[in-house]
Each structure stands twice: as C-alpha cells, then as structure tokens.
Amino acid sequence: MLPFIIRRLFFLPVVFFGVTIIIVLLMQLLTPYQRAAAFARSEQQARNLDAIIQQYGLDDPWYMQYGRWLGQVAQGNLGYSRVTAEPVLTTIRKRFPPTLELALFAIIPVIGAGIWFGTAAALNRDKFIDQLTRVLSIVGWSLPTFVFGIWLLVIFYGGLGEFLKDFAGGLFRVEPGRLSTPYIIELASGNFRSYTGLMTIDALLNGRLDIFWNAILHLILPVTTLAVVASAQIMRVMRSSLLDTLSQDYVRTARAKGLEESVVNIKHARRNALIPVLTLAGFVLTGLISGVVITETIFNYPGLGQWAASAAVQLDYAAVLGFAVFLSMVVVIANLLVDVMYGIIDPRIRYD
Amino acid sequence: MDATKNLELEKKERPEPALRRWWTSKTMKRFRRNPLAITGALMVIGFVFIAIFAPLLTTPGRSCARDLGLSRATMQDVRNPLKPVFWRSLVLTPQSCYTIPRTTFSPIPQPPSDQAVLGTTSGGYDIYYGLIWGTRTAFLIGIFVVGVGLTVGVIMGSISGYFGGRVDMVLMRFTDVVMSVPGLVLAMVIITVLGQSIFNVMIAISLVAWPNYARVLRGDILRVKEQEYVAGARALGARGARVIFKHVIPNAIGPLVIIASLDIGSVVLTAAALSFLGLGAPLGYADWGQMISFARNWILGPPGNPWAYWYVSFWPGLIIVLFVLGWNLLGDAFRDVLDPRSQ
Amino acid sequence: MKKFLLLLVAVSLMGLALAQAPADTYVWQAFGEVVSLDPARAYDTASGEILENVYETLFTYDGANIDKFVPALATSYEVSEDGKTYTFTLREGVQFHSGNTFSCRDVEYSFERGMVTAHPEGAVSYLIGDQFLGTQIDGSDPEAYKAEVSFEMIDNAVECVDDYTVQLNLTKAEPALLAILAYTAFGIVDSQWAIENGMWDGTEATWEDWIGRDLTQEYMNDKVSGTGAYTVISQDSETTVAKRFDGYWGGAPALENVVYRYVDEQAANILALQQGDADRIVLGDQAGLVQLRGAPGVTVYENEDWNPTSVTTVFFNYDIDTSNNEDVGSGQLDGNGIPSDFFNDLHVRLGFASLFDQQGFIEQVYEGKGRALTVGMPPSFLGYDDSVPIRSLDLEAAEAHFRAAYDGQLWDTGFEFTALYNAGNTTRQTALEIIKENVEFLNPKFKMNVRALAWPDFLARTGEQKVPMFALGWGADYADPKNFIDTFYSNSGFYSARTSINFPDIQALIDDANRATDPAERAFYYSEIARKHYELAPLIALPTPAAYIAARSNLQGIYYNPMLSGEFLWKNLSKN
C-alpha cells in the first residue's frame, strides 16, 4: 500500500501546477486594464488604473506574473487577498476550520440517513419504504440549495407564521454567523483559547458548554441545507449497490449455508455495498465543498465558500489561486484517504 | 397508454418496425410500467410544449412586438397559424422577445393582476412572462451544456481510452486536475473572466462538466476493447481508427448520451445557482435563475404580513423544482432500466 | 435521561437569553468589507465608519451639519491673508489608546506619513496633493513620485511651531481645507506607537522605502492607536470589535462595545434588526425598507431633507472612440449608428434631457421619496440653487429638439447606440431604460439599447472612451461643491477622461469659483453653473433619494450627517 500512497502523493504537484496554470491563463483573457479596474471599489479609485497596472505588474506576460507568484509561494507566501484584506494563507488558516466543521457536521446526517434509507429501500424492494426513499432522494436532489436555504432562514430565523413563532422555544432563532454577539465580543477580548479552530471542539476544550451550545445552534440551519441535497445522492447509491451485492454469489452462498437473513444482510452484503458508497463519500466531500459556497453566503458563515464566492466575482487574483490550490489539494488527499479505506473495508483490494 | 390506442396508432401511422421494436422492447416495457418514469416523461414533455409555444402563451413586450413587426391592432396575429408572424415568432424569434417586459419600474414586487397574472418581481418584471420564456432558456442551457460537454468528453475520452499508454496518462491527469477544482468555483471564475452573459454561463458549465463524460467513456472503451467482437473485428483485419470508430465508440456512446442528456435538470440547477450568486444573464433576460435571484431579497414580507410577496419566490421555485424533478424522475427510471444489475 | 433533558433546556435557555444584542453593545450590520484600518490607505465607507470613531481629525463636523466645523484635536485656527498658511492650536492633555500623550509631532507625523506613502488607493494625494505639494501624483511609481516630490517639500508642508501649535503651508489657497481635513484620511495617529511597531520612522533617511508601500500588509492595517472614543480590539474580514476607550478626553461614551458584522444577505440583515440581534443595518436595496417599516422595536428614520452626498448622472461622451465599437453601431449618422461627436449637438442633448421623467423616476424608483436636482451636486452643498429650473419629461419639447438636431436631418435618418451601466445597479439601469423607452416611443427610427457590464469592464470601457452614454455617480470626499462640479463639468475633472467634456462657458465659471474664497461669491458662481447646466444639458443629473437610517427603537443619539461614513458617531449613542 505504501508505494501506492507515495505514487498518489506525487500527483499533488501535478495538481498544483495544473490548477494554477489553468487559472493564471484564464485570468489572462482579461486586459490588464480590466484586472486593474477590479481593484477599484469606487469611482474615485478608478482614477489611475495605469498606476495600479504598473504597481502590480499586470501588463507583464503571463509566465512572468506566474513566476512572480511561484516565487512568493516558494517563500511560503500565497499572496494577498484583497477581498478579506489579509494574506491568503491567513485567510485559509482562519476560514478552513469553520468550513471543515460545517462539512463534518453535515456528513453525519448525510451518511447516516443515506445508509439507513438506502439499506431499508434495498431490503424492501418495491415496498413502501423503497418508493419513499426513491421519491425523497429524487426530490432532495432536485431542490435548489439557494431557495431552500433562504426559506429555512426566513422561516426559522424570521419566525414566520404563528406556529413557528415560538417553535421549540425559539431555539432556531439565532442570527446567521458562527456565534452570537456576546460571544464574539468575549472571543475578541482574548479569554478564549483557540486550539483547533473548530468552534464546538474549542468550546469544550475551554470548558464552555454555553459557547458549545451556541455554536451548535448556529450550525443547525446551514448543516440542514447542506445535508438535504447530499443525502439524496448517498441514498440512491446505497440502494443500488446493496441491491447489486445482494444478488451476488457469496451472499447466496451465505444464505444457502443457512445463515440468518439479518446476519447475511448486515455482515456480508452491507459491508461490500459500502465500497461504492465510500467512493461516493469522496464525491460528496467535493460536493459539500461546492455546496458551502452557497450555504455560507446565505448564512453568513465565515468559511472558505463565502470567501471563494466574493473572490471569484471580484477577480481577487491571489485569493482565487490560493483557494483553488488549497481545495484541490484537499480533494486529492481526501480521495487518497478514500482509496486507503477501501483496503481496510475489503482486504482483497490490491493497490497496483 | 392502453392497448387499443396503441393499435390505433399502429394502424394510422404505420410506425417503422424499428420504432415498434423499440416501443415494445423489454426495456421500454419496464419503463412504461414505472409510474414515476411516466410522471417524469409527462413533465418534461409539458415543458417542451411550453418552450415551443412560448410566443403564443404570452403577450409580446414592446421591443419584441416592434421586432416582430406587430402593432397594437395586429397583436392577436401572433396566435393565428394562418399569419406568417405566427411562424416567425415560433421559429425565428427575435432576441428582444427574451427580454421580460416591465409593467412598472417600482423596486417593490407587485401582486398578481390583469397585467401580470403571476405578479411582478422587484423592478416590475412580469413573472409569468419570465417563467414561460425562461423555459426556452432552460432548454437552451441544458442542451448546449450537455452537447458541448459531451462532445469534448467524447473526444478526450475516446482518444484516451483508445490510445492508452502515455496519451491516456496525460489526458487523465488533466481531467483529474480539472475535476479537483470545485466545479461551481471554477465556473464562477470562468464567467467572471469571460463576462456575464447566458452564452458564457453555458460555456463555463460545459468546461466544468466534460471530465465526467470523458472518464465514463474511457472506462467503457477500455471494457469494450476487451470484448469479443472487437477482437473479432481485429481478427478480420480491421485496424486502428476503424475499430474504434466503427465498433468501440458506437457501442460505448449510447448509454453515455442517455446519461448525459438526463443531466439537463442538474445543469439548469447549476446555472440557476450561478445566477443566484450574481453571475448570469443580463438583468431582465428571461431566465429562471434570474427570477430566483430577484426573489432573494423578497421572501420576507412587510411586518404583520410576512407572506405578502409569496409569488416572487414561489412560482420560480416551483417551476425550477418541477423541471429538475421531471428530468431526474426520467433519469432515475432510465438508469434503472439501463442498469443490468437491477434486471 | 430526565436530568439530561433538564440540562438541555437549561443550556438552551442560556443560549436564548444571550441571543439579543446586549444593552452595552452597539451592533451594526452592512454589506461592505472593512478594507483597512490605516487612515493613509482606507478609502471606503465600511473602513471609514470604524476610523472616524477611532482616529480624530483637527476639526470635525458639528453634529449633523456638513458645513459647520467644531474643534476636535485642534482648539482653534488662523488663516493667513493669502489663504496659504493655516496655524492650528492643538488640544492639550489628550491621550492615545496606547497611553502616549498627543502633541504636535503626532500631527506632523500623520500628515507626512500620508504624503510619504501616497498610497495610490488611499485618499491623501488625491485630496491634498495638489494643495500641499503642487501635484496630485501618487506613489504607485516611487521613481516618478521622487522626481516630482522631495522630502523637503513634504517636511515643509507641515511644521510644528511648538508642542501644541502646528502650521500647514499650502502651495495655493484652498477654500475647502477644513472640510477636506475632516476626512478620516487625516485622522491623527499615535506616532510613537506607530514607529515602535515598525512603521515609517518619520525621517528622511527611510522615506523612499515607504513611497507607495502596500499598507494593507503592514501593522497598522488591523491595529489602531488613536485618540477616538473607541479602540479596535479585533479586526478580520467579517467582524470588527471595538471597545470603549476609558481615557477619552471628551469623556467616556455610554456604550462599552461596538461590533460591526459584514453581512451580504439582505434578508439576514433585515431579520437581524427585527429580532434585535442588530441595532442598525444598511440595506443594499433601499426598497427593502417596506419589510422594516412598522416592525415592533424597529424605527426607520426617514426625512425628506436628508440628502445623501452622492449624485448619479447620465453622461454623454463628446468624443466617442468609434473604432471597433459595437456600442455606436455603424459609427455614422446613417440611421444605424452615431458619429463620435453625436452629443456635441445641443439639440440632441436637450432632446434627451427632455425625455427623462424626473418626477416619475422619484415616484417609481424612490417610492416618492426623493428630489430632482438643478445641477449635478448634492442639494445640501454651498451654492446649490433651488430656483434654477429642471428639465424633465416633455415629449413635445423633445420632439422639437430632435427635429432641430443636425439641421433637421436626424429626425429622418434616425440613430442607434447603446448606453451602459454597471451590472447590478438597478437605479442606473432604470434611468437609462426610461430614456430608452421614451426615445423609441418618440420616433421608431430612434433606437437606443441598454446593456450592463461588470464593474471592472465598465470602468475599463468608459475609460477607453468607447461608451457613448453611461450612468455613473460620485460620492463626496468632502462637503464642498468643488468636489462635484470639477469632477463632473471641468475639462480637467475626473470624468473628463471619460467624456471629453469641454464647455468654455462653464469652464470659465468653474475657474472663477475656484479662485474665489468668499462663500457668497462662490455660491454665485455655482448658481450660474446650474443655469448653464439647464441651458446646455451637458449631462443629466438623476434625482437624489431621501436618505434613511434603520435602527432599533431603543438606540438613542442618532443623527444624520452624510459626510460621516456611519452618518453619526458611536460616542453619542446610548440605549434605553
């Protein structure tokens, strides 16, 4: 397995150069003048675009600009993000943990619901639960995240309608963001140590149940938005791959051996059915990362997605590059982990 | 469809035997027995009709009428199949007809009225008009993206799958690189760079979509290559390009085309998401994504009447969900049917 | 299990109790990012609002008045006869947030630092370069800057007479100097603290290193030490947290904390105000106020006399670059395009000006809350003359003008061109569409298209002089008519590079106004310019909307000063 992992790690530089060259070339489709104008926020600042072009060397050939950027990277500096007004690396360091937290919390219901519904559907083929799963998964898959997210926001945070006004004691009525204002002030005052950047974990490590709870409340709506669409996909794959394994020889053999049906189903079939699900989990992670762009924008959640959205629209050169490089690395590494997990689930798989 | 009708159909039109064979094939039978599939098919067909007959379902706006040569007196001609303008509006639709007429310039949405039966969005854009004409835009986006994505995917996939070796490695690493950037973000960068227009949205999504198709086709080609009839063709002396184009691609491409065309729903969803983020059609262009982004600020009503602007988000949301649902139901059924495992 | 449930309830109640903005905190939410906390660099509203509460200027606005100034860090000032030397007496006993004591060297350091760094995206060179150094050049190219500006010039511009007297030496008279110096770019920073933390050390030896330096990467980008009533304790891209400065010379303010949250989603902002999680919000789309008016606990302050100090106008380009230009059609006067000097014809301009429905625009776009302008500047500024007539929709007059245009030729041949606005700006879009609708109604041979470009493309394309007609605006840098009239109408103003505007009559009046120092005399010239604006229609000024402030009802101390980025200062706020 080790040579396999090493070989896959060699792919990282390929992704690095590939992704950055693609983006740098894309940016070259704009004239230096346009790229300079992207720096201007108001009419006032547009008064000397030529100066900006000169200052940032925007009219140099692309390989020179790319070379400059690489030079910076070699010194451990990914450039400066204009959108967040701080170095790209700082932004990534600050914004990756919130996104990771969101994705981790989302992946629990996604995998859970996905596997449960998928299994139930496959074992009861064409029964009610199967039809329900299929309808749920198709509807969930057809929902536009952005409409769904805003509706959640307005209904639960806005407390629309008499019934929802005091739903669950107003439990869901926390403002968008990561924490409530008093905690933001407290964190700014420096009495709270950040260990991991994951708010829930840090809160526990600081022994602050109230902050932990506040962070959880802030996660509910965005996590729901993210999870609904993603679990629909997992359900489908779980169902069809379980159907597939159930019809295979060794399951039949196990049945013929007289093993009890539930043991067959769970011990043998489900474990093998998990392999495609694992593949999909890799995809879901990528999907979640795309999903966070919209979810974070709606729920004002200070993660990578929100940053990426404004950076892309405002042509924040360094931010787009840094973001794309970082996320593609994350994706590659996540896929590598998935592949390694195959081997753990099914020792027969060989890496060559 | 019941049997008698089917018979009638046969008598009247005498369908080609191939068509009949397809209709009565095992696959189609399975498909026809699936209520979800039928629902999906009906929904998609419904949208096709809306798209085709958009000019008849709406009253043209001022610029649209001008470009069609219609005056107030001759406005009804657009619904009369005997007049040339009827056919012109259907087939050679002027671009200006895709601009949603504004009933007012008020930034506050207006409730349904005679002028705008489903109400207007912020800025006085007629919701009904936008949704009807937006159906055409949706199909355009879906078909274009899948078409271009598929073409690029097929070219890359077949080169990669057929030649194998170093070519395969380079091309596949390239697709890996493209796939490792989150699609939505890459599409956003492409649109920002190319400039905002429907066309650029389509280009951007196609450029993000092709690697999937390329991979599937490559896998299929690798599998087909091992199969007997290719070996047979080889044995008969057929070589290189001939084998790949005559045998391998036609065999591998069929399922791929079906799978890809069923992506139309999700492609439209992606385009709408981009519109929502502010990267889409120019303001006022009939496009569902834009209708949704109009709704973004108007889900909440004035105090005491929280649902006052329900029509701004409800109708576009409903239409998009129905459209995507139709395609996904269809897609789900087809995948089931095509999937040998679920036989 | 029961115990667990109890715990859950207890914890959730705890979360609930803390959900509202606390009584000692002012929370405001808006859609702008804080770019920098360095006064020499910041030039945007979000940063401005923080800075005006953290750093103080020599003189500042008197409450809501934009043309009356009261002492802040200075107590009084004198101007020399020729208007070129200003002597300020400084306040004693003022402390910075760091504990250092304020004196003249801080003023000298702050002004010199602004001129030394001359940041191309900051405001300093643009606002005082000409008056202090005789050039508006900025530091984007250090060599070019050094060629025009010597350290001696900068050093001489600001001189300390003694610890509490500073003298500003101008190269030419500037009637609006107090107004200009009230801007946050001229806030006084703590020189000792700045130098200790690696900023420019204030000497000639190192000044070259700092010319045009990217200040967003320096210490002062997110750290502050000023004399203001608040100090920033934490700053990042989505949240700024400020705390009361107990040593403030004017007495500590009532509220202890201020939190600024950058929130893009309008629905989220509106809900936060309704729920009491935010004390004040700013809407991207003013129409969203209907979702707030009458909400319990929320007050929407609206006042017809509150006029924002920004103006949006529809510009004509007098020298269009017609080569390879899709926006001018054929580039000829043949019915399929327009020639490059199309708008030089007086009747064409008067025709277009007679097609814009001022009142209808106010009714429909601003919900009836707005005001038509007699000239392209804010109505609250010196010299704004209400008695000047305003051209508005008049189809007959428009027809008469278009029939007279090009000696009667235009009406028969017709024209086609495209007007542009920046994508997403619905006000500008609507203004152009109203003109389009009317001009096409007037004569079917007149074709006007309206299209949007993304902001950078829009700036770039107007800068290349390719756009025949476009809608753009200007926000005041300082409360003086010069800031608008020169910008819009002068042949050397900001927009001249995009419009090639050059009306000798108007230019003469502008030059006269800039030479005059007596307010009454200046007002006269600006009123004359407004009359010329009516006669010649060099551009179409759009109506200005009435401003608003949306806040929680229990927030006290709100006033409206459009020259402050935040309309009011935090130190005046309290909650009941």
pLDDT digits (tens, 9 = 90+) for A55-70: 777 778 888 888 888 8
SS (H, E, C) A259-279: CCHHHHHHHHHHHHHHHHHHH
Q: For residue C162, list its beta bridge partners.
A: C165
Asked if residue A207 belongs to a domain, the reply is: no
Asked if residue A184 belongs to a domain, the reply is: no
**Which residues of chain A does B194 touch, with a Cβ-Cβ cutoff of 8 Å?**
29
A90 pLDDT more than 90:
no
Q: Is the domain of A104 the same as that of A20?
A: no
Asked if residue A208 belongs to a domain, the reply is: no
Look at chain A and report how many structural domains it folds into.
2
The length of chain A is 352
Of C1 and B62, more confident: B62
The predicted model scores a pTM of 0.84
**Which residues of chain C does A37 touch, with a Cβ-Cβ cutoff of 8 Å?**
455-460, 463
Q: How far is A306 from chain C (nearest CA, A)?
A: 10
Whether the CB of A214 is below 8 Å from some CB of chain C: the reply is yes
C14 pLDDT more than 60:
no
Q: How many CB atoms lie within 10 A of CB C260?
A: 24
CB-CB under 8 Å, B341 with A29: no
Structure confidence by residue, pLDDT tens digits, B269-283 = 889 888 888 788 877
d(CA A339, CA A344): 9
pLDDT, position A185: 84
d(CA A303, CA B280): 24
Q: How many CB atoms lie within 10 A of CB C514?
A: 19
Q: Are A259 and A110 in contact (CB under 8 A)?
A: no
**Residues C112-126, mean pLDDT to the nearest whole number:** 89
d(CA B159, CA B181): 23
CB-CB under 8 Å, C238 with A169: no
**Residues C109-128, mean pLDDT to the nearest whole number:** 90
Q: What are the tokens at C368? A: 């009836």
Q: What are the tokens at C123? A: 């405001």
- Three-point CA angle A181, A186, A187, nearest 5°: 95
Where among A32, A62, A87 does a domain terminate? A87
Who contacts C238 (Cβ-Cβ below 8 Å, separation ≥6)? A177, A300, A302, C261, C262
pLDDT, position C106: 95
Confirm or reject CATH 3.10.105.10 for domain C310-545, answering yes or no: yes
Can C40-46+53-212 and C310-545 be said to share one CATH topology?
no
CB-CB under 8 Å, B189 with A144: no
Q: Are A92 and A307 in contact (CB under 8 A)?
A: no
pLDDT, position C532: 95
pLDDT, position C155: 93
pLDDT, position C440: 86
pLDDT, position A171: 63
Mean per-residue pLDDT of chain C? 89
Residue B242 banded pLDDT, cuts 50, 70, 90: low
d(CA C456, CA A208): 46
Of B105 and B1, more confident: B105
**DSSP per residue over C21-65, as a string?**
PPTTEEEEEES-----S-TTT--SHHHHHHHHHHS--SEEE-TT-
Lowest mean pLDDT among A323-337, B196-210, C150-164, C319-333: A323-337
Q: Is the domain of A167 the same as that of A80?
A: no
Who contacts C353 (Cβ-Cβ below 8 Å, separation ≥6)? C391, C537, C540
What are the Cα distances from residue B268, in Å, to B142, B146, B207, B284? 6, 10, 15, 18
Q: Is the domain of A80 the same as that of A95?
A: no
What are the Cα distances from residue A271, in Å, to A210, A239, A246, C213? 39, 13, 11, 60
Asked if residue A291 belongs to a domain, the reply is: yes
Q: Where are the domains of chain C?
A: 40-46+53-212, 310-545
C110 pLDDT more than 90:
yes
Structure confidence by residue, pLDDT tens digits, A243-254 = 777 776 666 666
B71 pLDDT more than 80:
no
**Residues C546-552, mean pLDDT to the nearest whole number:** 92
pLDDT, position A136: 83
Q: Is the domain of A98 the same as that of A78?
A: no
Structure confidence by residue, pLDDT tens digits, C211-268 = 988 888 889 998 999 999 999 999 888 889 999 999 999 998 999 999 999 888 888 8
Q: How far is A286 from chain B (nearest CA, A)?
A: 7
Name the residue facing C267 among A55, A80, A153 (closest C-beta).
A153
Chain B residue with minimum CA distance to C269: B297
- Report which DSSP code applies to C317: P
Q: How far is B297 from chain C (nearest CA, A)?
A: 6
pLDDT, position C1: 45
Where among A55, A87, A119 does a domain terminate? A87
Q: How far is A294 from chain B (nearest CA, A)?
A: 8
Lowest mean pLDDT among A156-165, B15-24, C407-416: A156-165
Who contacts A310 (Cβ-Cβ below 8 Å, separation ≥6)? A83, A316, C264
pLDDT, position B1: 39
**Residues A36-40, mean pLDDT to the nearest whole number:** 69
d(CA A83, CA A321): 13
**Residues C412-426, mean pLDDT to the nearest whole number:** 89
- Report which DSSP code applies to C186: G
Structure confidence by residue, pLDDT tens digits, C226-240 = 999 999 999 888 889
Q: Is the domain of A40 the same as that of A78?
A: yes
Asked if residue A181 belongs to a domain, the reply is: no
CB-CB under 8 Å, C365 with B107: yes
**Which residues of chain C does B104 touch, with a Cβ-Cβ cutoff of 8 Å?**
364
Q: Is the domain of A157 the same as that of A269?
A: yes
Asked if residue A250 belongs to a domain, the reply is: yes
d(CA A301, CA A178): 6
C6 pLDDT more than 60:
no
d(CA B218, CA B159): 8
Residue A172 banded pLDDT, cuts 50, 70, 90: low
Structure confidence by residue, pLDDT tens digits, C342-358 = 999 999 999 999 999 99
The percentage of residues in chain A with a pLDDT greater than 90, rounded to a whole number, is 1
* Domain containing residue A27: 12-87
Residue B185 banded pLDDT, cuts 50, 70, 90: confident
Q: Is the domain of A94 the same as that of A53?
A: no
**DSSP per residue over C208-259, as a string?**
HHHTT--GGGSGGGT----SSSEEEEEE-SSEEEEEE-TT-TT---S-SEEE
Asked if residue A17 belongs to a domain, the reply is: yes
C478 pLDDT more than 90:
no
Residue C574 Cα to chain centre, angstroms: 27
CATH of the domain at A118: 1.10.3720.10
- Three-point CA angle C249, C255, C260, nearest 5°: 105
What is the residue whose two structure tokens read 């200046």?
C522
Q: Are A284 and A229 in contact (CB under 8 A)?
A: no
Confirm or reject CATH 3.90.76.10 for domain C40-46+53-212, answering yes or no: yes
Closest among C497, C505, C508, C535 to C318, alpha carbons compared: C497
Residue B11 banded pLDDT, cuts 50, 70, 90: very low
Q: How far is B44 from chain A (nearest CA, A)?
A: 14
Chain B residue with minimum CA distance to A317: B189
Q: Is the domain of A51 the same as that of A168?
A: no
Amino acid at the residue C407: D
Mean per-residue pLDDT of chain B? 80
Chain C residue with minimum CA distance to A179: C19
Q: Say if strands C25-30 and C59-61 run parallel, antiparallel, or are unpaired.
A: unpaired
Q: Is the domain of A234 the same as that of A126?
A: yes
Q: Is the domain of A33 the same as that of A151?
A: no
Strand runs (DSSP E) across C350-414, as ranges?
A: 370-371
Q: Is the domain of A281 the same as that of A309?
A: yes
Does the interface ipTM go beyond 0.95? Answer: no
pLDDT, position A251: 63
Where among A87, A118, A138 does a domain terminate? A87
pLDDT, position C185: 92
Asked if residue A192 belongs to a domain, the reply is: no
pLDDT, position A111: 79
Helix H or strand E encompassing C453:
strand C446-453
CB-CB under 8 Å, A86 with C222: yes
Name the residue facing A44 among C141, C233, C477 (closest C-beta).
C477
Q: Is the domain of A19 the same as that of A154?
A: no
